Structure 1
């Protein structure tokens, strides 16, 4: 299995079907757009002043925090003024994770990502020893690959495997304390869960306010307060990113349109191009030719 290591990269698409490791710095205040991936992501926060949003939840990050997101969760960093935003980032492709799970009898290395999503709590707090081990593994994976060294690729895969195992152990040892280190709202949680479960249905402000017995005005204000998006913006982003993941997995453009909740292909194609700078067909072709390289 072959992974790729990058010091800094603005891509949001993997170039391999294994893993990719980054050590990134951002030295200016910026609100990044909501996005999601068709792979698992781990972020190890090293420094800066950052609020990290995952769906409706906002985590004011502190050095040593670890965040996990899976392929169905919209997320973004809100970078404040102050020290540069420094972090390690690891991307793990489902193909790599599935191969590991086929080799490991008593563990599912994707469990920490899936469980975090189900519990609506994406933050890990590793003990000091485990955190230093995790950082050490990132540093090992950041070293330039050398195919001339015997077993170099196999050793890197071992580091990546150990990293996933340590993340799962940290996840199991993390205690969720309601209201601590997390900004969210139970009603907004319920609305987002409903949207995600009914993405292909008719999702209008009228329908949602009626379903949740809440006024349109209050729902609009509450949703914007906790997500930074209007309901329409959130639903559109979710459908677009869902269709993008489908296209990356080989789904035909028209099927991705319908299965992500769009009713009209022309409207879908225009929105997709406005968001991602490529038409659905162009993105599909580009990803299939570039995104699956070993």
Structure 2
């Protein structure tokens, strides 16, 4: 069902939807995308990351997501904010998510900078604290939901002139992120600890990889760190994260290199600092992950 945010009336064919089976984790539009998703996802079941921000808002039912080493069990009205280049995945719970309905917003840092116009750092709400999930008072939750629903609509019933929808969307984005940043400063709105599940294995492995990112990292070393046999460790890690240990280490290296490039390091220094042994391997993996070359990625940060 689709709802008018003011009157609760059913609307047909006006909400952008993405099928639960759609595994796309990249943006088609240049600046932002907003859409509704319903049911338990068949995609996003393995750790992944992207070079844009993600907001997930639960419209109905329940939804669970693992972000780095914590799983968040979300309910109606909850918001999950995922920073750029943060490992996350859908966390399946049998029979819990069949009726789940949520709105997904993807947006680039460049778009947030344009919206803020130098007056406000609109990406500040994504800075990690103890949690990246929030539950706001009903008034504010309904206010934010209204902006998201407006953004997810393919057309506004009142709008007739060319360009009005784009202008209204820009206004909704500015209001949404301004309110969101104000609310995220209040620690009392952070997710309650009883709705979080910690994963020590993911935390230990992630911490070790980040500490030794510039050098060679073997499966044997990691298994020793978590006091498991090699094969038991490989199996448990894949069960938890949905990816192999090798893929996890490679992704952590890419995230490290990506961050270094955005902070002004030249590409040659960045890939070596991230532990890649040669440029060809780095280039191949970077293109697979981000869809562009490191050089084009660096163009996004001309002043860094």
Provide the TM-score with structure 1 as the length reference. 0.72
1: CA distance between counterparts of 2:53 and 2:253? 19
> Which residue number corresponds to residue 143 of structure 2?
133
Partner of 1:8: 18
Q: How big is the shift at 1:196? A: 3.4
Q: SS at the partner of 2:142?
A: helix
Match for residue 63 of structure 1 among 76, 80, 103: 76
Pairwise CA distance, 1:45:
1.5
Corresponding residue number in structure 2 for 1:168: 181
1:204 aligns with 2:212: no
Q: How many residues align?
A: 271
- Per the alignment, residue 7 of structure 2 pairs with none
Give the superposition deviation at 1:230: 5.7
User: Equivalents in 1 of 2:284, 2:112: separation in Å?
Assistant: 34
**Secondary structure in 2 aligned to 1:167?**
helix
| 2:168 counterpart of 1:155 | yes
- Give distance in 1, aligned partners of 2:27 and 2:191: 34
Please state how far the C-alpha of 1:183 moved relative to its aligned partner.
Answer: 0.7
Aligned position for 2:36:
23
Q: For residues 93-112 of structure 1, what are the alpha-carbon distances to aligned partners after superposition, in whole Å with 9 as ceiling and x for unaligned?
A: 111112233342xx321111
Asked whether the equivalents of residues 18 and 95 of structure 1 are also in contact (C-alpha less than 8 Å), the reply is yes
Match of residue 94 from structure 1? 109
Q: 2:153 aligns with which of 124, 143, 156?
A: 143
Q: Contact 1:141–1:159 (CA<8 Å) still a contact in 2? A: yes
Hey, what does 1:84 align to over in structure 2? 99
Q: After superposition, where does 1:238-253 map in structure 2 within 5 Å? A: 238-239=252-253
Distance 2:173 2:193 in 1: 33
Over aligned residue pairs, what C-alpha RMSD do you find?
4.1
Q: CA deviation at 1:125?
A: 0.9
Give how far 1:228 is off.
5.5
Shift of residue 70, structure 1, vs aligned partner: 1.0
- The aligned residue for residue 54 of structure 1 is 67
Alpha-carbon distance in 2 for matches of 1:148, 1:197:
55
CA distance in 1, matches of 2:154, 2:239: 44
Match of residue 215 from structure 1: 227
Cα distance in 2 between the residues matched to 1:79 and 1:150: 40
> Matched residue of 2:50: which SS?
coil
Partner SS state of residue 68, structure 1: strand
Give the distance between the partners of 1:255 and 1:12, measured in 2 at CA: 28
Q: Deviation per CA, 1:53-111: give whole Å up to 9, x if none.
A: 1011111221211100111211111233432332101111111112233342xx32111
Does the CA contact (< 8 Å) of 1:56 and 1:227 recur in 2?
A: no
Counterpart-to-counterpart distance in 1, 2:150 and 2:180: 16
Q: Confirm or deny: 8 A CA contact 2:122 2:177 kept in the other structure.
A: yes
SS of match in other structure, 2:89: strand
Distance, in Å, in 2 between the alignment partners of 1:125 and 1:198 is 36
Structure-1 separation of matches of 2:93 and 2:43: 7
**SS of alignment partner, residue 75 of structure 2:** coil
Counterpart of 2:180 in 1: which secondary structure? helix
Deviations 1:177-202 (Å, cap 9, x if unpaired)? 77421111467535424533543332
